[in-house]
Structure 1
Amino acid sequence: MRTHQVVSAWLEQELAAGRLAIGSRLPGERSMAEQLGISRASVREGTRVLEALGVVRAGVGSGPQAGTIITGNPALALDSALRLHVASAHLPVKDIVETRLLLEAWAAEHAWRDSPALERAARLLDEMDGPDAHDLGPGAFLERDALFHVALAEAAGNVLVGAMMGSLRGSIAAYTQRLTADLPDWGSTSDRLRHEHRAILAAIVGGEGLRAADLVRHHIERFYRESGVHDQHPEA
Protein backbone atom coordinates (compact mmCIF):
# COMPACT_ATOMS: atom_id res chain seq x y z
CA MET A 1 0.00 0.00 0.00
CA ARG A 2 1.33 3.41 -0.94
CA THR A 3 1.88 5.70 1.99
CA HIS A 4 -0.79 8.19 0.93
CA GLN A 5 -3.29 5.31 0.72
CA VAL A 6 -2.73 4.70 4.43
CA VAL A 7 -4.61 7.94 5.12
CA SER A 8 -7.59 6.82 3.04
CA ALA A 9 -7.69 3.37 4.69
CA TRP A 10 -7.47 4.94 8.15
CA LEU A 11 -10.29 7.40 7.41
CA GLU A 12 -12.48 4.60 6.06
CA GLN A 13 -11.98 2.66 9.32
CA GLU A 14 -12.72 5.71 11.45
CA LEU A 15 -15.92 6.47 9.54
CA ALA A 16 -17.09 2.84 9.65
CA ALA A 17 -16.46 2.68 13.40
CA GLY A 18 -18.36 5.92 14.00
CA ARG A 19 -15.37 7.70 15.53
CA LEU A 20 -15.55 10.29 12.74
CA ALA A 21 -18.51 11.56 10.73
CA ILE A 22 -19.48 14.24 8.21
CA GLY A 23 -18.43 17.57 9.69
CA SER A 24 -15.65 16.12 11.84
CA ARG A 25 -12.15 17.58 11.64
CA LEU A 26 -9.15 15.43 10.93
CA PRO A 27 -6.29 15.56 13.42
CA GLY A 28 -3.35 17.79 12.52
CA GLU A 29 -0.68 16.57 10.13
CA ARG A 30 1.85 15.88 12.89
CA SER A 31 -0.64 13.94 14.97
CA MET A 32 -1.78 11.85 11.99
CA ALA A 33 1.79 11.19 10.89
CA GLU A 34 2.71 9.90 14.35
CA GLN A 35 -0.49 7.88 14.65
CA LEU A 36 -0.16 6.26 11.23
CA GLY A 37 3.61 5.87 11.19
CA ILE A 38 4.13 7.83 7.98
CA SER A 39 5.71 11.17 7.08
CA ARG A 40 3.86 14.47 7.23
CA ALA A 41 4.40 14.76 3.48
CA SER A 42 2.54 11.47 3.00
CA VAL A 43 -0.28 12.70 5.23
CA ARG A 44 -0.45 15.88 3.15
CA GLU A 45 -0.53 13.89 -0.10
CA GLY A 46 -3.23 11.59 1.20
CA THR A 47 -5.33 14.56 2.33
CA ARG A 48 -5.03 16.15 -1.11
CA VAL A 49 -6.22 12.94 -2.75
CA LEU A 50 -9.21 12.82 -0.41
CA GLU A 51 -9.99 16.46 -1.18
CA ALA A 52 -9.93 15.72 -4.92
CA LEU A 53 -12.35 12.87 -4.29
CA GLY A 54 -14.73 15.19 -2.47
CA VAL A 55 -14.29 13.41 0.86
CA VAL A 56 -12.70 16.29 2.78
CA ARG A 57 -12.34 20.05 2.50
CA ALA A 58 -9.06 21.60 3.55
CA GLY A 59 -9.37 24.97 5.27
CA VAL A 60 -6.66 27.50 6.05
CA GLY A 61 -6.07 30.05 8.75
CA SER A 62 -7.86 29.91 12.08
CA GLY A 63 -11.41 29.82 13.29
CA PRO A 64 -14.36 27.52 12.52
CA GLN A 65 -13.32 27.02 8.88
CA ALA A 66 -9.74 26.04 9.68
CA GLY A 67 -8.45 22.49 9.47
CA THR A 68 -9.46 19.60 7.25
CA ILE A 69 -13.16 18.77 7.51
CA ILE A 70 -14.94 15.64 6.30
CA THR A 71 -17.56 16.73 3.78
CA GLY A 72 -18.65 13.68 1.77
CA ASN A 73 -19.31 15.05 -1.74
CA PRO A 74 -19.40 12.03 -4.10
CA ALA A 75 -20.55 14.14 -7.03
CA LEU A 76 -17.20 15.95 -7.13
CA ALA A 77 -15.22 12.75 -7.66
CA LEU A 78 -17.72 11.31 -10.12
CA ASP A 79 -17.80 14.51 -12.13
CA SER A 80 -14.02 14.76 -12.42
CA ALA A 81 -13.60 11.11 -13.35
CA LEU A 82 -16.38 11.13 -15.95
CA ARG A 83 -15.10 14.32 -17.58
CA LEU A 84 -11.66 12.81 -18.05
CA HIS A 85 -12.96 9.51 -19.39
CA VAL A 86 -15.36 11.19 -21.79
CA ALA A 87 -12.56 13.44 -23.02
CA SER A 88 -10.36 10.41 -23.64
CA ALA A 89 -13.24 8.64 -25.47
CA HIS A 90 -13.19 5.80 -22.92
CA LEU A 91 -16.83 6.61 -22.19
CA PRO A 92 -18.76 7.29 -25.41
CA VAL A 93 -21.34 10.04 -25.05
CA LYS A 94 -23.98 7.70 -26.45
CA ASP A 95 -23.42 5.34 -23.51
CA ILE A 96 -23.78 8.22 -21.06
CA VAL A 97 -27.06 9.23 -22.70
CA GLU A 98 -28.38 5.67 -22.31
CA THR A 99 -27.37 5.72 -18.64
CA ARG A 100 -29.23 9.01 -18.26
CA LEU A 101 -32.35 7.33 -19.61
CA LEU A 102 -32.13 4.61 -16.97
CA LEU A 103 -31.50 6.98 -14.07
CA GLU A 104 -33.90 9.75 -15.03
CA ALA A 105 -36.79 7.46 -15.85
CA TRP A 106 -36.40 5.74 -12.47
CA ALA A 107 -36.09 9.09 -10.67
CA ALA A 108 -39.18 10.52 -12.39
CA GLU A 109 -41.21 7.48 -11.43
CA HIS A 110 -40.10 7.57 -7.78
CA ALA A 111 -39.85 11.33 -7.19
CA TRP A 112 -41.48 12.61 -4.01
CA ARG A 113 -44.36 14.95 -4.79
CA ASP A 114 -43.49 17.17 -1.79
CA SER A 115 -39.73 17.26 -2.36
CA PRO A 116 -38.19 20.75 -2.07
CA ALA A 117 -36.18 19.86 -5.18
CA LEU A 118 -39.39 20.13 -7.22
CA GLU A 119 -39.82 23.73 -6.07
CA ARG A 120 -36.34 24.42 -7.38
CA ALA A 121 -37.25 22.70 -10.64
CA ALA A 122 -40.34 24.89 -10.99
CA ARG A 123 -38.31 28.07 -10.43
CA LEU A 124 -35.90 27.01 -13.16
CA LEU A 125 -38.81 26.51 -15.55
CA ASP A 126 -40.09 29.97 -14.70
CA GLU A 127 -36.71 31.38 -15.67
CA MET A 128 -36.82 29.44 -18.93
CA ASP A 129 -40.42 30.48 -19.67
CA GLY A 130 -40.31 34.10 -18.50
CA PRO A 131 -40.63 37.30 -20.56
CA ASP A 132 -36.93 37.19 -21.44
CA ALA A 133 -36.93 33.48 -22.25
CA HIS A 134 -36.31 33.96 -25.95
CA ASP A 135 -33.29 36.11 -25.14
CA LEU A 136 -31.64 33.10 -23.51
CA GLY A 137 -28.98 31.69 -25.76
CA PRO A 138 -28.56 27.92 -26.10
CA GLY A 139 -25.82 27.92 -23.47
CA ALA A 140 -27.90 29.65 -20.78
CA PHE A 141 -30.97 27.59 -21.66
CA LEU A 142 -29.10 24.28 -21.49
CA GLU A 143 -27.48 25.27 -18.19
CA ARG A 144 -30.93 25.66 -16.65
CA ASP A 145 -32.12 22.54 -18.44
CA ALA A 146 -29.30 20.58 -16.79
CA LEU A 147 -30.14 21.94 -13.34
CA PHE A 148 -33.83 21.09 -13.92
CA HIS A 149 -33.03 17.46 -14.68
CA VAL A 150 -30.68 17.17 -11.71
CA ALA A 151 -33.42 18.60 -9.46
CA LEU A 152 -35.85 15.93 -10.69
CA ALA A 153 -33.30 13.24 -9.92
CA GLU A 154 -32.72 14.63 -6.43
CA ALA A 155 -36.49 14.64 -5.82
CA ALA A 156 -36.40 10.84 -5.76
CA GLY A 157 -34.53 11.02 -2.46
CA ASN A 158 -31.62 8.81 -3.55
CA VAL A 159 -28.39 10.70 -2.84
CA LEU A 160 -26.29 8.53 -5.14
CA VAL A 161 -28.70 8.84 -8.07
CA GLY A 162 -28.72 12.61 -7.62
CA ALA A 163 -24.91 12.71 -7.54
CA MET A 164 -24.62 10.48 -10.58
CA MET A 165 -27.09 12.59 -12.53
CA GLY A 166 -25.23 15.77 -11.74
CA SER A 167 -21.98 14.16 -12.85
CA LEU A 168 -23.41 12.70 -16.04
CA ARG A 169 -24.87 16.02 -17.05
CA GLY A 170 -21.67 17.85 -16.20
CA SER A 171 -19.46 15.43 -18.10
CA ILE A 172 -21.22 16.10 -21.41
CA ALA A 173 -22.34 19.71 -20.90
CA ALA A 174 -19.96 21.20 -23.47
CA TYR A 175 -20.77 18.48 -25.98
CA THR A 176 -24.52 18.94 -25.53
CA GLN A 177 -24.15 22.66 -26.21
CA ARG A 178 -22.24 21.92 -29.39
CA LEU A 179 -25.08 19.68 -30.51
CA THR A 180 -27.39 22.67 -30.74
CA ALA A 181 -25.47 23.81 -33.83
CA ASP A 182 -26.73 20.67 -35.61
CA LEU A 183 -30.38 21.30 -34.80
CA PRO A 184 -32.45 22.58 -37.72
CA ASP A 185 -34.29 25.20 -35.64
CA TRP A 186 -33.14 25.92 -32.08
CA GLY A 187 -36.09 28.23 -31.44
CA SER A 188 -38.71 25.56 -32.12
CA THR A 189 -36.66 22.94 -30.28
CA SER A 190 -36.35 25.11 -27.17
CA ASP A 191 -40.11 25.84 -27.25
CA ARG A 192 -40.82 22.13 -27.40
CA LEU A 193 -38.38 21.41 -24.56
CA ARG A 194 -40.14 24.01 -22.39
CA HIS A 195 -43.51 22.36 -23.04
CA GLU A 196 -42.12 18.91 -22.27
CA HIS A 197 -40.46 20.13 -19.06
CA ARG A 198 -43.81 21.44 -17.82
CA ALA A 199 -45.56 18.17 -18.67
CA ILE A 200 -42.93 16.11 -16.84
CA LEU A 201 -43.11 18.25 -13.71
CA ALA A 202 -46.92 18.24 -13.76
CA ALA A 203 -46.99 14.45 -13.98
CA ILE A 204 -44.64 14.12 -11.01
CA VAL A 205 -46.55 16.62 -8.87
CA GLY A 206 -49.79 14.92 -9.88
CA GLY A 207 -48.51 11.55 -8.64
CA GLU A 208 -48.34 10.04 -12.12
CA GLY A 209 -44.92 8.44 -11.77
CA LEU A 210 -45.16 6.00 -14.67
CA ARG A 211 -46.36 8.71 -17.04
CA ALA A 212 -43.56 11.01 -15.86
CA ALA A 213 -41.01 8.27 -16.60
CA ASP A 214 -42.40 7.81 -20.12
CA LEU A 215 -42.33 11.55 -20.74
CA VAL A 216 -38.71 11.79 -19.59
CA ARG A 217 -37.64 8.96 -21.90
CA HIS A 218 -39.35 10.58 -24.87
CA HIS A 219 -37.93 13.99 -23.95
CA ILE A 220 -34.32 12.79 -23.80
CA GLU A 221 -34.46 10.45 -26.77
CA ARG A 222 -36.06 13.02 -29.06
CA PHE A 223 -33.51 15.73 -28.31
CA TYR A 224 -30.54 13.48 -29.00
CA ARG A 225 -32.21 11.92 -32.00
CA GLU A 226 -32.80 15.36 -33.52
CA SER A 227 -29.21 16.37 -32.85
CA GLY A 228 -27.82 13.18 -34.35
CA VAL A 229 -26.04 11.82 -31.29
CA HIS A 230 -26.99 8.23 -32.13
CA ASP A 231 -25.31 8.57 -35.50
CA GLN A 232 -22.05 9.97 -34.17
CA HIS A 233 -19.05 8.66 -32.31
CA PRO A 234 -17.80 11.87 -30.69
CA GLU A 235 -14.60 12.28 -28.76
CA ALA A 236 -16.44 14.94 -26.69
Structure 2
Amino acid sequence: MRTHELVLRWIEKQLSDGHLKIGGRLPAERALAEQLEVSRTSVREAIRILEAMGVVRAGVGSGKDAGTVVIAEPATALGSALRLHVATQHLPVADIVETRVLLESWAVSRAKADAPELAEAARLVDEMDASTAVDDFLALDVAFHLALAEAAGNAVVSTIMGSLREAIEGYAAALTANLPDWDSTAHRLRSEHRAILAAVNDGDGGRAATLVAAHIEGYYREAGLEQAGLGRSPAEPKPCRT
Protein backbone atom coordinates (compact mmCIF):
# COMPACT_ATOMS: atom_id res chain seq x y z
CA MET A 1 0.00 0.00 0.00
CA ARG A 2 1.32 3.44 -0.91
CA THR A 3 1.87 5.70 2.07
CA HIS A 4 -0.77 8.26 1.12
CA GLU A 5 -3.29 5.38 1.13
CA LEU A 6 -2.42 4.77 4.78
CA VAL A 7 -3.41 8.36 5.49
CA LEU A 8 -6.67 7.92 3.58
CA ARG A 9 -7.49 4.72 5.49
CA TRP A 10 -6.78 6.42 8.82
CA ILE A 11 -9.04 9.39 7.98
CA GLU A 12 -11.79 7.06 6.73
CA LYS A 13 -11.68 5.14 10.03
CA GLN A 14 -11.77 8.37 12.04
CA LEU A 15 -14.89 9.40 10.11
CA SER A 16 -16.63 6.03 10.38
CA ASP A 17 -15.85 5.79 14.12
CA GLY A 18 -17.25 9.27 14.70
CA HIS A 19 -13.96 10.81 15.86
CA LEU A 20 -14.11 13.16 12.86
CA LYS A 21 -17.36 14.82 11.83
CA ILE A 22 -18.50 17.45 9.35
CA GLY A 23 -17.03 20.76 10.44
CA GLY A 24 -14.21 19.07 12.33
CA ARG A 25 -10.55 19.62 11.53
CA LEU A 26 -7.83 17.14 10.69
CA PRO A 27 -4.64 17.27 12.75
CA ALA A 28 -1.95 19.59 11.42
CA GLU A 29 0.08 18.21 8.55
CA ARG A 30 3.23 17.74 10.61
CA ALA A 31 1.38 16.14 13.54
CA LEU A 32 -0.49 13.73 11.25
CA ALA A 33 2.72 12.73 9.46
CA GLU A 34 4.43 12.00 12.78
CA GLN A 35 1.44 10.14 14.18
CA LEU A 36 1.17 7.84 11.14
CA GLU A 37 4.93 7.69 10.57
CA VAL A 38 4.68 8.83 6.97
CA SER A 39 6.13 11.77 5.07
CA ARG A 40 4.40 15.14 4.94
CA THR A 41 4.29 14.68 1.16
CA SER A 42 2.08 11.61 1.66
CA VAL A 43 -0.22 13.61 3.94
CA ARG A 44 -0.48 16.39 1.35
CA GLU A 45 -1.27 13.89 -1.41
CA ALA A 46 -4.01 12.29 0.67
CA ILE A 47 -5.54 15.68 1.46
CA ARG A 48 -5.50 16.66 -2.24
CA ILE A 49 -7.38 13.45 -3.06
CA LEU A 50 -9.93 14.11 -0.32
CA GLU A 51 -10.40 17.67 -1.60
CA ALA A 52 -11.11 16.36 -5.11
CA MET A 53 -13.62 13.92 -3.59
CA GLY A 54 -15.45 16.73 -1.79
CA VAL A 55 -14.65 15.32 1.67
CA VAL A 56 -12.38 18.07 3.01
CA ARG A 57 -11.51 21.69 2.34
CA ALA A 58 -7.91 22.71 2.95
CA GLY A 59 -7.37 26.27 4.17
CA VAL A 60 -4.10 28.11 4.47
CA GLY A 61 -2.84 30.81 6.82
CA SER A 62 -4.39 31.35 10.23
CA GLY A 63 -7.81 32.04 11.67
CA LYS A 64 -11.13 30.21 11.51
CA ASP A 65 -10.64 29.13 7.88
CA ALA A 66 -7.19 27.66 8.44
CA GLY A 67 -6.51 23.92 8.50
CA THR A 68 -8.21 21.02 6.78
CA VAL A 69 -11.94 20.92 7.52
CA VAL A 70 -14.29 18.00 6.92
CA ILE A 71 -17.11 18.96 4.54
CA ALA A 72 -19.76 17.09 2.57
CA GLU A 73 -19.98 17.92 -1.14
CA PRO A 74 -20.26 14.51 -2.81
CA ALA A 75 -22.42 15.66 -5.72
CA THR A 76 -19.79 18.16 -6.87
CA ALA A 77 -17.03 15.54 -6.76
CA LEU A 78 -19.12 12.87 -8.51
CA GLY A 79 -20.27 15.40 -11.09
CA SER A 80 -16.69 16.35 -11.89
CA ALA A 81 -15.67 12.72 -12.30
CA LEU A 82 -18.66 11.95 -14.50
CA ARG A 83 -18.01 15.02 -16.63
CA LEU A 84 -14.48 13.83 -17.36
CA HIS A 85 -15.67 10.34 -18.29
CA VAL A 86 -18.37 11.80 -20.51
CA ALA A 87 -15.64 13.85 -22.21
CA THR A 88 -13.72 10.63 -22.97
CA GLN A 89 -16.95 9.31 -24.59
CA HIS A 90 -16.73 6.22 -22.40
CA LEU A 91 -20.00 7.25 -20.72
CA PRO A 92 -22.42 8.33 -23.47
CA VAL A 93 -24.60 11.31 -22.58
CA ALA A 94 -27.63 9.35 -23.80
CA ASP A 95 -26.99 6.70 -21.14
CA ILE A 96 -26.62 9.34 -18.43
CA VAL A 97 -29.94 10.87 -19.53
CA GLU A 98 -31.59 7.45 -19.29
CA THR A 99 -30.18 7.00 -15.79
CA ARG A 100 -31.45 10.44 -14.85
CA VAL A 101 -34.94 9.48 -16.07
CA LEU A 102 -34.88 6.35 -13.89
CA LEU A 103 -33.78 8.22 -10.78
CA GLU A 104 -36.09 11.22 -11.21
CA SER A 105 -39.07 8.99 -11.94
CA TRP A 106 -38.37 7.07 -8.74
CA ALA A 107 -37.86 10.26 -6.75
CA VAL A 108 -41.06 12.04 -7.78
CA SER A 109 -43.08 8.87 -7.29
CA ARG A 110 -41.96 8.87 -3.64
CA ALA A 111 -41.78 12.60 -2.97
CA LYS A 112 -43.61 13.55 0.20
CA ALA A 113 -46.45 16.02 -0.32
CA ASP A 114 -45.51 17.88 2.87
CA ALA A 115 -41.79 18.09 2.04
CA PRO A 116 -40.48 21.68 2.38
CA GLU A 117 -38.56 21.23 -0.87
CA LEU A 118 -41.86 21.37 -2.78
CA ALA A 119 -42.40 24.97 -1.69
CA GLU A 120 -38.94 25.76 -3.04
CA ALA A 121 -39.82 23.96 -6.29
CA ALA A 122 -42.96 26.11 -6.62
CA ARG A 123 -40.92 29.26 -6.09
CA LEU A 124 -38.46 28.19 -8.77
CA VAL A 125 -41.29 27.58 -11.24
CA ASP A 126 -42.53 31.13 -10.61
CA GLU A 127 -39.01 32.44 -11.24
CA MET A 128 -38.85 30.49 -14.49
CA ASP A 129 -42.06 32.19 -15.60
CA ALA A 130 -40.30 35.54 -15.28
CA SER A 131 -36.99 34.36 -16.78
CA THR A 132 -36.14 35.43 -20.33
CA ALA A 133 -32.44 34.51 -20.54
CA VAL A 134 -31.70 30.91 -21.55
CA ASP A 135 -28.85 30.45 -19.05
CA ASP A 136 -31.00 31.75 -16.17
CA PHE A 137 -33.86 29.45 -17.16
CA LEU A 138 -31.59 26.39 -17.31
CA ALA A 139 -30.05 27.19 -13.92
CA LEU A 140 -33.53 27.45 -12.39
CA ASP A 141 -34.50 24.22 -14.15
CA VAL A 142 -31.58 22.39 -12.52
CA ALA A 143 -32.56 23.71 -9.09
CA PHE A 144 -36.20 22.72 -9.67
CA HIS A 145 -35.40 19.12 -10.53
CA LEU A 146 -33.00 18.79 -7.59
CA ALA A 147 -35.66 20.15 -5.23
CA LEU A 148 -38.08 17.48 -6.46
CA ALA A 149 -35.46 14.77 -5.95
CA GLU A 150 -34.73 15.98 -2.42
CA ALA A 151 -38.44 15.84 -1.59
CA ALA A 152 -38.18 12.04 -1.73
CA GLY A 153 -35.93 12.15 1.34
CA ASN A 154 -33.22 9.84 -0.01
CA ALA A 155 -29.81 11.46 0.39
CA VAL A 156 -28.04 9.01 -1.94
CA VAL A 157 -30.53 9.53 -4.77
CA SER A 158 -30.31 13.31 -4.31
CA THR A 159 -26.52 13.17 -4.44
CA ILE A 160 -26.41 10.99 -7.56
CA MET A 161 -29.08 13.16 -9.19
CA GLY A 162 -27.05 16.27 -8.52
CA SER A 163 -23.92 14.69 -9.97
CA LEU A 164 -25.73 13.52 -13.11
CA ARG A 165 -27.20 16.97 -13.67
CA GLU A 166 -23.79 18.60 -13.22
CA ALA A 167 -22.20 16.12 -15.62
CA ILE A 168 -24.56 16.98 -18.48
CA GLU A 169 -25.54 20.57 -17.66
CA GLY A 170 -23.13 21.96 -20.24
CA TYR A 171 -24.47 19.63 -22.92
CA ALA A 172 -28.06 20.56 -22.09
CA ALA A 173 -27.16 24.22 -22.57
CA ALA A 174 -25.30 23.52 -25.82
CA LEU A 175 -28.28 21.62 -27.22
CA THR A 176 -30.51 24.70 -26.97
CA ALA A 177 -28.85 25.88 -30.18
CA ASN A 178 -30.58 22.98 -31.96
CA LEU A 179 -34.07 24.02 -30.84
CA PRO A 180 -36.18 25.60 -33.59
CA ASP A 181 -37.87 28.04 -31.21
CA TRP A 182 -36.52 28.47 -27.67
CA ASP A 183 -39.46 30.59 -26.51
CA SER A 184 -41.91 27.89 -27.55
CA THR A 185 -39.81 25.20 -25.86
CA ALA A 186 -39.48 27.26 -22.67
CA HIS A 187 -43.25 27.77 -22.57
CA ARG A 188 -43.81 24.01 -22.88
CA LEU A 189 -41.21 23.22 -20.21
CA ARG A 190 -42.84 25.67 -17.78
CA SER A 191 -46.21 23.97 -18.30
CA GLU A 192 -44.68 20.55 -17.78
CA HIS A 193 -42.93 21.71 -14.60
CA ARG A 194 -46.24 22.85 -13.16
CA ALA A 195 -47.98 19.61 -14.12
CA ILE A 196 -45.24 17.50 -12.48
CA LEU A 197 -45.35 19.60 -9.32
CA ALA A 198 -49.17 19.41 -9.21
CA ALA A 199 -49.08 15.61 -9.46
CA VAL A 200 -46.57 15.41 -6.60
CA ASN A 201 -48.62 17.78 -4.45
CA ASP A 202 -51.73 15.69 -5.16
CA GLY A 203 -49.91 12.56 -3.99
CA ASP A 204 -50.16 10.98 -7.46
CA GLY A 205 -46.67 9.52 -7.66
CA GLY A 206 -47.42 7.36 -10.67
CA ARG A 207 -48.57 10.29 -12.76
CA ALA A 208 -45.65 12.42 -11.57
CA ALA A 209 -43.20 9.70 -12.66
CA THR A 210 -44.80 9.43 -16.10
CA LEU A 211 -44.78 13.19 -16.55
CA VAL A 212 -41.16 13.70 -15.49
CA ALA A 213 -39.95 10.90 -17.81
CA ALA A 214 -41.81 12.41 -20.78
CA HIS A 215 -40.53 15.87 -19.79
CA ILE A 216 -36.84 14.88 -19.76
CA GLU A 217 -36.97 12.62 -22.82
CA GLY A 218 -39.00 15.18 -24.74
CA TYR A 219 -36.44 17.93 -24.26
CA TYR A 220 -33.49 15.84 -25.40
CA ARG A 221 -35.46 14.40 -28.31
CA GLU A 222 -36.49 17.87 -29.47
CA ALA A 223 -32.93 19.13 -29.08
CA GLY A 224 -31.55 16.22 -31.12
CA LEU A 225 -29.28 14.57 -28.57
CA GLU A 226 -28.02 11.79 -30.84
CA GLN A 227 -27.92 13.96 -33.95
CA ALA A 228 -25.59 16.31 -32.06
CA GLY A 229 -23.11 13.46 -31.61
CA LEU A 230 -23.62 13.28 -27.85
CA GLY A 231 -25.28 9.89 -27.73
CA ARG A 232 -23.79 6.44 -28.29
CA SER A 233 -21.17 6.02 -30.95
CA PRO A 234 -22.43 4.47 -34.22
CA ALA A 235 -20.43 1.30 -33.52
CA GLU A 236 -21.95 0.91 -30.07
CA PRO A 237 -25.13 -1.18 -29.99
CA LYS A 238 -28.20 0.31 -28.39
CA PRO A 239 -29.70 -1.64 -25.50
CA CYS A 240 -32.41 -4.10 -26.40
CA ARG A 241 -35.86 -2.96 -25.29
CA THR A 242 -38.67 -5.40 -24.62
Q: Tell me by how many angstroms 1:230 deviates.
A: 4.2
For these two proteins, the number of residue pairs brought into alignment is 232
1:92–1:233 contact (8 Å) kept in structure 2: no
Report Cα offsets for 1:41-65 as digits up to 9, x if no partner: 2111111110111011112333332
Cα distance, 1:229 vs. partner? 1.5
For 1:231 and 1:188, the matched residues in 2 are separated by 21
* TM-score for both structures, normalised by structure 1: 0.93
Question: Gaps spanning 5+ residues in structure 2: where?
Answer: 233-242
1:177 matched to 2:173: yes
Hey, what does 1:217 align to over in structure 2?
A: 213
Secondary structure at the aligned position of 1:172 is classed as helix
Correspondence for 1:7: 7
Alignment-derived partner of residue 194 in structure 2: 198
The CA RMSD measured in Å over matched residues stands at 1.7
Q: Which residue pairs with 2:96 in the alignment?
A: 96
Unaligned 5+ runs, structure 1 = none
- Tell me the distance in 2 between the aligned counterparts of 1:113 and 1:65: 39
Instruction: State which drifts further: 161-170 or 98-107.
Output: 161-170
Cα deviation digits, residues 112-169 of structure 1 (max 9, x gap): 2222222221111111113xx3xx2222211211111111111111112111111111
The answer (yes or no) to whether the contact 1:88–1:235 under 8 Å persists in 2 is no
* Residue number among 131, 152, 159 corresponding to 1:156 in the alignment: 152
Indicate which of 132, 137, 142 corresponds to 2:133: 137
Matches of 1:179 and 1:57 in 2, distance apart? 34
> What TM-score comes out, normalization by structure 2 length?
0.90
For residues 187-210 of structure 1, what are the alpha-carbon distances to aligned partners after superposition, in whole Å with 9 as ceiling and x for unaligned? 111101000001111111121111
The 1-side partners of 2:67 and 2:231 are apart by 40
Matches within 5 A, 1:7-86: 7-86=7-86
Matching residue of 1:124 = 124
**Cα contact 1:7–1:43 (8 A) shared by 2:** yes
Kept in 1, the 8 Å contact 2:95–2:231? The answer is no
Alpha-carbon deviation of 1:83?
0.9
12-21 or 76-85, which deviates more: 12-21
